[in-house]
Structures are given as C-alpha cells and as structure tokens.
Structure 1
Amino acid sequence: MRITVLGASGRIGRQVVHILKNQRHDALPATRAAGVDAYSGRGLASALSDTDAVVDATNAATTETEEVVDYFRTIAHNVQRAAADAAVRRIVLVSIIGIDEFPAGHYAGKVAHERAYREGPVPVRILRAAQFHEFTEMMLDWTTQGDTAYVPKMRTRLVAARTVAERLAAMVVEPDAADLIEIAGPHELNLAAASAKLAARRGAPTYVEEVILTDDPNHHLQADGALLPGPAAIIAGPTFDEWLDAHDPA
C-alpha cells in the first residue's frame, strides 16, 4: 500500500513510517520540512496524490483551548477535502482515551479533531490511546521547579509509544479493522508515582509531588479516572517497569 503519514517527524508518526516500511509498504513522510503543512493545506494535494490511505499523527504546539481546537479541526477538514479529491480509501487517526467530556486544552482539541474527521466523506478509523510511558518524561520536563516536580493527579494505564505505533500501522493496512479501538498498558498507574520512578532512576529531580491543579478545568476528570480504558480496550505491554528498564537502565 501507498500510505501518507502526517506528523511523520513526531514521536508516533516517525515510528509508524518505520514500521510500515519494514512491512514493505510505500510509507511517505509528510512533514513541514518536506513542504507539507496540514493546517494551511500547503502541499496536501501533492502528498495525497495516488495515496491509498492516510495516517494522521499530527500534534499541536499549544494547549490553549481555542487555538488547539481550531488547529485540529482545520487539519481534519483540510485532510478530508484533499483525501476525497485523491480518492483515498481511509484515514487513520491517533487520539486519546476518554476525552469526550473534557472541556479544555489538548483533550478538547482532540475531541474536535475526531468530530471534524467524522464529518467528512472519507472513512475514518480512530485509535484512542492511553498516555504514553514517555509522558512521564514530559511531566518531569514541564513541571520541575528547582529540585521538585509538581505532577498533576491522574489515573492512567500508560502504554509504550511503540506499541501504539504498531497498532496504528495495523489499522491502516487491515481491510476490516474496527472504526474505533482503544489501547492501553497492562497496569493502572498513578502518574506522579510513575514519574517519581523515572526521576529516581535518573537521579533528578530530587522530589516528585502530586498536586491538584484546581484552576485546570480538566483536573477532576484526570484525577477520577476518565482517562482509563473501557472493558473492550486492547491491553498491551511492555509494562512501565519493563519500559523503564529498557529506556533508562539502572
């Protein structure tokens, strides 16, 4: 198959390209560096020409609600138009488990992303994933002040980014894949506790403190388990400890 991967320079997109190429598919990385901007539409028609399917692994640089909603909604509309013109068979989108009721930030943007794709003529398959194991790295980077990281209270089932990429690659090539799939890791985890394990392995920051950010409209949903998978979800390893051993050996 000939498959165009949007967001191919990102954490998931570049792995999807690698996986598809190893399976001998013609995987085309569509990035700004390659002249493709899904938000403005620049280069989309050329990138999708003669393409059988599209993977959307784009990400946003902002979490401001209005901006991120506009960003993802516009991408979905642009891609749907270009895909329909190019007679693309399907679009596969990576999204996030449990986001339907989230009112703000990146989660609200992904809700808009999904809905805008569903409004278009080209069939869409959505893979809703739990937070990645790698999310703990981001938390430490974002929240560390001095010798302490202040990690928001969150219940999750962290999953490896590589595992998500493998499932995305399967969804785009399988003729009869489901329209909506959830994927999560083997164990429910507390995000602060998982981040503390990573910090201890690295030796910094010295402390990890769990906090409830009451000014964040999403805080109660994160804390109460809205981001946990449903009973029909695919549960796949490695575990967080196995990922940690491979990623940051002691």
Structure 2
Amino acid sequence: MTMNITVFGATGQVGAQVVALLTAAGQDVTAASRGSGVDAVSGAGVDGALANAEVVVDVLNSPTMADDAALAFFTATAANLTAAAKRAGVGHYVLLSIVGVDQLEGGGYVRGKVVQENAVAASGVPYTIVRATQFHELTEVITGSLVVGDEARVPDALIQPIASADVAAVLARTATERPANGVMDLAGPEPMSFADMAALVLAAQGKNLRVVVDPAATYFGTPVHTASLVPRGDAERAPHRLSDWLGAR
C-alpha cells in the first residue's frame, strides 16, 4: 500500500538514502529540506511539506556541535515539526536519535537530542524513536578528534559502529510499520573498544600512531564510560562490519 511520507533532512547523509529507499519501494515521498523551501528552524514551509502526510521521518541534524546553537536547533525544529505533524493529523512520527543519549552528560548537542526525543514523545502523535550507534562514516572524524601529537588518546569505553546505509534501511522500514510509541535501539554487528576502532581506522589510513587508553579522554567533550554508547538491552543489529567498510573504501 502506497503511503504519503515526508522526510525532513532529506538531503543529509541518512535522509537522502531514506528518500531513495522509500521512493524505490513505491511510496509517495516528499523530500523536505532548505533546498525545497522548508526551514524547520523557523517553521517556514513545514505545514506545506506535511500536506496529506501520513508519516514523518525526522533525520534533521544540527549543522554545528556548538552547545548553544545545537540546543537551539533541536529545540526549535522539534517544536515546529511536532506541532505541525499534530495539526496535519500525521499517524506516525519516526525520529532518528542516538543510543544512550538520555544517559550522557554532554553539552548542548546531547541535551538538544534529549529535548527532541521528549518533544516527539509528548506531542500526542504516534511515534517511534530509532536510536542508532555511531556511523561507520563518522569513525575517521571520531578518531581524528582523539589524536594528540603522535598518539590517539581514546576513552576507556565501547563503541558499536553501524553503516549509515543500514540505519537508512531500518528507518525506511519503520516508516511503513505501526508506531511503537517507544524507543528501539539499533547498532552495528559487534561492540569494540575505542582503542580497537582507532587502530582499525588508523591502519586503513596508513597512519602509524600509538593508541593510548586515556581515562580522561572524551567523546567530543562528552565523558563516556564502558557502556555509554552501546545498547544496554535488546537491540536490532545491522550486518555490516566497520572493518569491511574501511576495506572497501
């Protein structure tokens, strides 16, 4: 059965893949982005993008990690989109979030994602929050952020990278399913230490840096403990491994 689905953040890394998958499956997709005249921060064009929408897929991401700006972005977009979705009578709001985000003591970006989740859950619109682990595509940036001189100083914690394509596939599937009215966790096939992740990335880059576990190291300024970034209960596991992704580049 064909459904009318609006994707916000439709030109981003995940959003573009979700749009392609849903379109290929025969769904009637509205790809909402600034390029299409939709500004989720100000609310301009949001109601029009939701005309006749049965499902919303929200994969918007803050353009900055700066505390105040990121918090303001998620607060504004969540308020505008949930209010518009309720006005439009949307039957399912699918939100992409982060595994463990509600347990992190982070800056504005992390707090903003929690605000976003809470706004969706309290909106009165049936919803599913899909929390994913860190993307394969981000592991080079993550590793680079941990390099100090000739060392990579990594947190004493686990990470469970997932391919963005696997995240997009689950979001596209979830959009056509009944709302869970709750949270589902989605992760890569296996947890690994930050040290092992950094070693894989550095080897793939041909860099000979020493990897050092540093209890003071953070994840982009957010303190993390052993299980901060990995699912603590049941989670759907995607099939593609980081090592295979790095080797195919």
Q: TM-score scaled by structure 2?
A: 0.88
Choose from 100, 111, 128 the match for 1:98. 100
Structure 1 match to 2:245: 243
Per-residue deviation, 1:104: 2.1
Choose from 32, 47, 54 the match for 2:56. 54
Structure 2 match to 1:191: 194
Q: Which moved more, 1:50-59 or 1:169-178?
A: 169-178
Post-superposition Cα deviations, 1:116-158, rounded to whole Å, max 9, x if no partner, equal 1112121121001111122212224545566555444431111
Choose from 149, 155, 158 the match for 2:158. 155
Q: TM-score scaled by structure 1?
A: 0.88
Contact 1:136 1:191 (C-alpha < 8 Å) held by counterparts: no
Letter in 1 for 2:222: N
Structure 1 match to 2:203: 200
Task: Output the CA distance in 1 between the equivalents of 2:132 and 2:78.
Answer: 19
Structure 2 match to 1:4: 6
Structure 1 match to 2:80: 78
Contact 1:156 1:191 (C-alpha < 8 Å) held by counterparts: yes
Per-residue deviation, 1:242: 2.0
SS class of match (2:43): coil
Letter in 2 for 1:117: V
Q: How many aligned residue pairs are there?
A: 245
Query: For 1:113-192, what aligned pairs fall within 5 Å after superposition?
Result: 113-144=116-147, 148-175=151-178, 177=180, 179-192=182-195
Letter in 1 for 2:93: I
Residue 187 to residue 82, structure 1, CA distance change in 2 (3 Å):
same
Task: Output the CA distance in 2 between the equivalents of 1:229 and 1:74.
Answer: 28
1:218 correspondence with 2:200: no
Per-residue deviation, 1:39: 1.1
Contact 1:153 1:223 (C-alpha < 8 Å) held by counterparts: yes
Task: Output the CA distance in 2 between the equivalents of 1:3 and 1:195.
Answer: 38
SS class of match (2:185): strand
Letter in 2 for 1:60: S
Q: Which moved more, 1:143-152 or 1:3-12?
A: 143-152
Residue 182 to residue 201, structure 1, CA distance change in 2 (3 Å):
same
Residue 45 to residue 64, structure 1, CA distance change in 2 (3 Å):
same
Per-residue deviation, 1:206: 4.4
Post-superposition Cα deviations, 1:168-200, rounded to whole Å, max 9, x if no partner, equal 111111135563211111211122421321221
SS class of match (1:100): helix
Task: Output the CA distance in 2 between the equivalents of 1:134 and 1:207.
Answer: 22
Task: Output the CA distance in 1 between the equivalents of 2:174 and 2:125.
Answer: 15
Post-superposition Cα deviations, 1:65-113, rounded to whole Å, max 9, x if no partner, equal 3332222122111001111222211110011111212232222221111
Task: Output the CA distance in 2 between the equivalents of 1:71 and 1:193.
Answer: 33
Contact 2:17 2:168 (C-alpha < 8 Å) held by counterparts: yes
Letter in 2 for 1:119: A
Contact 1:56 1:93 (C-alpha < 8 Å) held by counterparts: yes
Task: Output the CA distance in 2 between the equivalents of 1:178 and 1:167.
Answer: 16
RMSD of aligned C-alpha atoms? Answer: 2.3
Task: Output the CA distance in 2 between the equivalents of 1:81 and 1:166.
Answer: 27
Task: Output the CA distance in 2 between the equivalents of 1:13 and 1:152.
Answer: 30
Residue 214 to residue 191, structure 1, CA distance change in 2 (3 Å):
closer
Contact 1:81 1:120 (C-alpha < 8 Å) held by counterparts: yes
Post-superposition Cα deviations, 1:176-229, rounded to whole Å, max 9, x if no partner, equal 55632111112111224213212212224745554444687731xx23212211
Letter in 2 for 1:199: L
Task: Output the CA distance in 2 between the equivalents of 1:198 and 1:217.
Answer: 20
